[in-house]
Amino acid sequence: MKHSLYFLIIITLLFAGCRQKAQSNFLSESSAQTEESNPSLEEYAEEAVITGKVLNRDFYPQEKELTLIIPFFRDMGNQYRSPIQKDGSFSFRFPVYAKLREVSIRNYAEHLYIHPGDSIHVEIDFKDLFHPKVTGDAEKLNQEILAFTESAYYYIQNYNMKPESDVKDFEAELKKDYNFRLERRNEYLVKYKPMEDVVLFTEELLKQDYYYALLFNGMSYLFKTRKEMDRYHTLLPEINKLYTKGILSARLYDVADEAERYIAYGIAFRDKKNPSIEEIMATMGESEMNQYLYTKLIAGSLCTNDTLAFHEKRTQFDSIVKMSHLRAQVMQIYNQTKSYLKNPQPVSDNLLYGEFHENSKHTTRMPYMKPVYDVLEKNRGKVIYFDFWARWCPPCLAEMEPLKQLRSKFSTDDLIIYSICVSEPKEQWEECLNEYSLKNRGIECVHVTDYLGIDNYQKICKQWKIDRMPYYVLINRKGQIIDFGTAARPSNPQLVSRIEEAVK
C-alpha cells in the first residue's frame, strides 16, 4: 500500500494538468493572435470573427473587457481579450482549425459554436446574462444546438451515479441512462430536423459524456482495488473514434485527460514504476488520441514556465502531433510563455496589482493584497520566495528538506523565504515546524490565519490561481514575479538557476 501511494503521488505530480494558471490569462488587449507558420496548420485555418455588443452595461460598470476561451486541457484554454468599447461593442478574431468548434465568452456566453470563416454577432445583456443572442453565419447552428443542450432533450453532462458502486451494476445503470439520452435525442431530431452538423454534434456529445463516465468509474475502481479492468482497454479504439470527426468540444479534452490518468495509474500500480509518456501512448496503440496525450505533456511543461523541455522534445512533438488545432494551441502557449520569461512585467503587474500594462499605475485596488505589499516594501531590493503548503499535502512535505537546502545556498541579505502553512488546525502547523526542524533556519514560517487571514487568503488564491498545493511565487529584486505555480519548487534545479540569476 505504501509503495502504491508513492507511485500515486509521483504520477499525480507528473501528469496533473497545469491547473495553477492558464498561461494565456495575460494576453494583451488585442484580440488578433498569430501562430507560428507551419504547413500543417493550413487545414481549417480560415479565421472566424465574433463581434458583439453589451447592453445595459451600467448594470456591471466594473466590467471593462471580455475574454474568449478556446477550450483545451483543464485550465489551459487559449484566451483572447477584447476591451468593451464606449458604445458596448467588442470583437474577436481567431483561427478555428476544425470543421466545427466550441468556444465561450467567459461568464456571458459559455457555449458558442462556429465554423472556419464564420462571422457571428453576440448580443450580451448584463440584465439577462443567461440568454445571449447570436446572429450571423452560425445563427442557425447555435440555435439548434442550444435547443438540444439547454432543454429537456439533453441532461447534465456528468451522470449522477456513484462510481464506487459494483462495476457491473454501474455499467448496466450507465448503459440504461445512455440509452434514455439517445431516445431523448431522437425525439429532438424528429421535432427540430436540425442541420447535418448538429446531428453529428449531438451524437458525439452523448458518446463523449458516456465514455467520460465510464473512464471516471474505471479510475475509481483502480484506486479502490489497485486492479485494471481489461475490458476498458478494449474500449480505447472506440473512444479514439471521438477524435476523428473534426468536431471539437471542451468535453473531448476531459475524455483524453481521463483516459491518460486511467492508463498511467494502471501502469504505476501494476509495475510499481513511473510510466513514461511513450508507455502510455503504447497502451493506446496507433491512435489520434496519442496526439492529445503528447500535446498535454508539452503544454503542461510550458504552463510551468518551462520552455527548455519543449525545445528538447520539439523534433518528437513535430513527428507525433499533426493535428492543426493541437499544434496551434501549443504554439500559442509557447509564445506566451516565452514572452513572459523574456518580459515578466505585464504578468507580474496583473498578479500583484490587477494591471495588464507595463505603464499602468501601481495603485492598491486590492486591499486583501496588503500583507504581500508589506513584504515587498519591507524587503525592497531582495529576492522573495513564497512557499504555500499544507499538512495534508504529501508533495508539500516532500519539499521541506529541499527548502532548507535552498535556504542554505543563499544569504538572507539576498533571498527571503516565506513558508506559509494554509491548513488547519494551527496546532498541526506547529507540529510540522518541529517535525521538519524548520525553526531558526532563516525561513519566515507563518500560518495563514496570522499572516493573511482566511478571507484575504481566499481572495489571493483567486488572484494568483492557487488551486492546488504546493504553490510557489518567486519575486526578483525589482519586485517582479518571475516564476509561479506548482513546479517552482525547491527541488527543481531550474528554480535554483532562476534564483541564482535573480540574486546576481
pLDDT average, residue stretch 422-438: 90
Homologous superfamily of the 368-501 domain (CATH): Glutaredoxin (3.40.30.10)
Q: How far is CA 396 from CA 52, 214, 406, in A?
A: 45, 32, 15
Q: Per CATH, the architecture of 45-136 is what? A: Sandwich (2.60)
Domain residues of the chain, as ranges?
45-136, 165-338, 368-501
Reduced to 3 DSSP states, what percent helix, strand and coil does the chain have, rounded to the nearest 5? 50, 15, 35
pTM exceeding 0.85: no
Asked if residue 7 lies in contact with residue 272, where contact means CB atoms within 8 angstroms, the answer is: yes
pLDDT average, residue stretch 464-471: 87
pLDDT average, residue stretch 172-188: 92
Q: What is the pLDDT of residue 163?
A: 58
Long-range Cβ contact pairs of 231-238 (< 8 A, separation 24 or more): 232/262, 233/283, 235/211, 236/283, 236/284, 236/285, 236/287, 236/289, 237/285, 237/287, 238/211
Q: What is the pLDDT of residue 17?
A: 35
**Residue-wise pLDDT tens digits, 278-316:** 999 998 888 999 999 999 999 988 988 889 889 999 999
Q: What is the pLDDT of residue 271?
A: 84
Confidence band, pLDDT 50/70/90 cuts, at residue 358 = very low
Residues 6 or more apart whose CB falls under 8 angstroms from that of 56 comprise: 125, 126, 127
**Residue-wise pLDDT tens digits, 364-396:** 468 899 999 999 999 999 999 999 999 999 999
Confidence band, pLDDT 50/70/90 cuts, at residue 165 = low
pLDDT average, residue stretch 20-40: 36
Q: What is the pLDDT of residue 45?
A: 74
Confidence band, pLDDT 50/70/90 cuts, at residue 162 = low
Asked if residue 242 lies in contact with residue 200, where contact means CB atoms within 8 angstroms, the answer is: no
Q: What is the pLDDT of residue 299?
A: 93
Q: What is the pLDDT of residue 5?
A: 38
pLDDT average, residue stretch 464-482: 92
pLDDT average, residue stretch 91-105: 93
